[in-house]
């Protein structure tokens, strides 16, 4: 019989983690959301409150729905509070050591049947699975930014993921009004493997002063019908995250298409991380804003 998912956990309340929490809470699930300290919890809460307030402002949610949604989210700084969840999605920064340690900790606190999922963009799910005593119940669950809007969820199966785990998570993703696709464990999975060569090329063209950022972006929006141009998209994803994704794919394949444009590393070092810090290729009204100034 298929598993039921009633309470889910999310670890990490950055841009992706907070978006994933919102997806779950919008579907009526109870969510336990964990972060490292009170300050990070508060940042995540603010993100969720801003996003739901915007939905209320646009007439997509009533104030009562928004209040109930937020009430379904419990926040914590202790992983022990994830003991009773049916599924955990990890969404901490893209560092293998950090994620591997976390998976070992989650394995120790979560009940033995719980599924442990990672939202990693490009790291190996197999590497995380083997840090646990339940490698068959570890899967990739990769959401896209902004998570409440983008329909795709990539489900990443390893050579040891149990088939019923894939089937149950696929059925669960569909109940979240997402479109799940299943892929084996390779860097970049499907979408990032195809997308990031293009984004990297745009950063290289910008770096070579080939065209202005506005014209590069306008070309792809108005010539190809993309919802946003590549440099604006890099700002949305995060320059540091984009650099890490490219670097991981380049290390695995040595395909020059994925050798990160030097400007991405320079911007990361300088703290120009995109929308989240208020400055990337563009400058924004404030951190996390989409308003370009």
Q: Give the footprint of ligand 3HC on this chain (CB under 6 A).
A: 51, 54, 58, 60, 121, 144-146, 148-150, 192, 195, 227-228, 233, 237, 241
Q: Of 122, 192, 200, 242, which residue is the catalytic one?
A: 192
Angstrom distance (rounded) from CA 236 to CA 17: 15
Q: Which residues contact 193 (CB under 8 A, 6 or more apart)?
A: 186, 187, 249
Strands 73-76 and 138-143: unpaired
- Is 142 in the active site? yes
Residue 253 Cβ vs ligand 3HC, minimum distance, rounded to whole Å: 17
Q: Of 121, 122, 200, 242, which residue is the catalytic one?
A: 121
Query: Is there a contact between 232 and 272 (Cβ–Cβ < 8 Å)?
Result: no
Residue 209 Cβ vs ligand 3HC, minimum distance, rounded to whole Å: 25
Q: Which value, in Å, is the radius of gyration of the alpha carbons in the chain?
A: 19
Q: Which is nearer to ligand 3HC, 66 or 233 (CB)?
A: 233
Q: Which is nearer to ligand 3HC, 122 or 132 (CB)?
A: 122
Query: Is there a contact between 89 and 118 (Cβ–Cβ < 8 Å)?
Result: yes
Q: Of 119, 124, 142, 200, which residue is the catalytic one?
A: 142
Residue 234 Cβ vs ligand 3HC, minimum distance, rounded to whole Å: 9
Q: Count CB-CB contacts under 10 A for residue 148.
A: 17
Residue 6 Cβ vs ligand 3HC, minimum distance, rounded to whole Å: 24
Residue 81 Cβ vs ligand 3HC, minimum distance, rounded to whole Å: 25
Angstrom distance (rounded) from CA 74 to CA 59: 25
Local structure of residue 226 (DSSP, 8 states): -
Q: Of 122, 154, 244, 258, which residue is the catalytic one?
A: 154
- Is 47 in the active site? no
Strand partners, 75: 33
Helix (H, G, I), strand (E, B) or coil at 110: coil
Query: Is there a contact between 106 and 79 (Cβ–Cβ < 8 Å)?
Result: yes
Q: Which is nearer to ligand 3HC, 110 or 267 (CB)?
A: 267
- Is 200 in the active site? no
Q: Which is nearer to ligand 3HC, 129 or 193 (CB)?
A: 193
Q: Which is nearer to ligand 3HC, 212 or 289 (CB)?
A: 289
- Is 119 in the active site? no
Residue 97 Cβ vs ligand 3HC, minimum distance, rounded to whole Å: 19
Strand partners, 122: none
Q: Which is nearer to ligand 3HC, 183 or 228 (CB)?
A: 228
Burial readout 18-54 (b: 16 or more C-beta within 10 A, e: otherwise): bbbbbbbbbbebebbbbbeeeebbebbbebbeebbee
Query: Is there a contact between 170 and 182 (Cβ–Cβ < 8 Å)?
Result: yes
Residues marked as catalytic? 121, 142, 154, 192
């Amino acid at each position: 019989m298929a598993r039921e998912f009633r309470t889910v956990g999310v670890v990490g309340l950055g841009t992706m983690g907070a978006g994933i929490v919102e997806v779950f809470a919008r579907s009526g699930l109870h969510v336990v959301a964990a972060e490292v300290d009170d300050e990070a919890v508060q940042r995540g809460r603010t993100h969720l409150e801003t996003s739901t307030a915007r939905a209320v402002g646009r007439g997509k949610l009533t104030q009562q729905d928004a209040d109930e949604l937020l009430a379904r989210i419990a926040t914590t700084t202790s992983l022990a509070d994830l003991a009773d969840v049916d599924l955990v999605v990890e969404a901490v920064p893209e560092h293998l050591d950090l994620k591997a340690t976390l998976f070992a900790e989650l394995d120790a606190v979560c009940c033995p049947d719980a599924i442990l999922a990672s939202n990693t963009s490009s790291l190996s799910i197999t590497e995380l699975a083997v840090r646990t005593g339940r490698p068959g119940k570890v899967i990739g669950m990769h959401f896209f930014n902004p998570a409440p809007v983008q329909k795709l969820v990539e489900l990443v199966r390893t050579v040891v993921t149990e088939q019923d785990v894939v089937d149950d998570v696929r059925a669960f993703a569909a109940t979240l009004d997402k479109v799940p696709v299943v892929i084996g464990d390779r860097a970049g999975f499907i979408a990032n493997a195809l997308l990031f060569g293009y984004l990297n090329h745009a950063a290289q063209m910008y770096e070579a002063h080939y065209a202005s950022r506005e014209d590069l972006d306008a070309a792809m929006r108005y010539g190809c019908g993309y919802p946003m141009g590549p440099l604006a998209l890099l700002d949305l994803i995060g320059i540091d995250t984009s650099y890490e994704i490219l670097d991981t794919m380049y290390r695995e394949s040595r395909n020059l298409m994925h050798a990160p444009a030097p400007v991405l590393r320079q911007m990361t070092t300088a703290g120009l991380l995109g929308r989240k810090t208020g400055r990337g290729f563009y400058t924004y009204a404030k951190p996390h804003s989409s308003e370009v100034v």
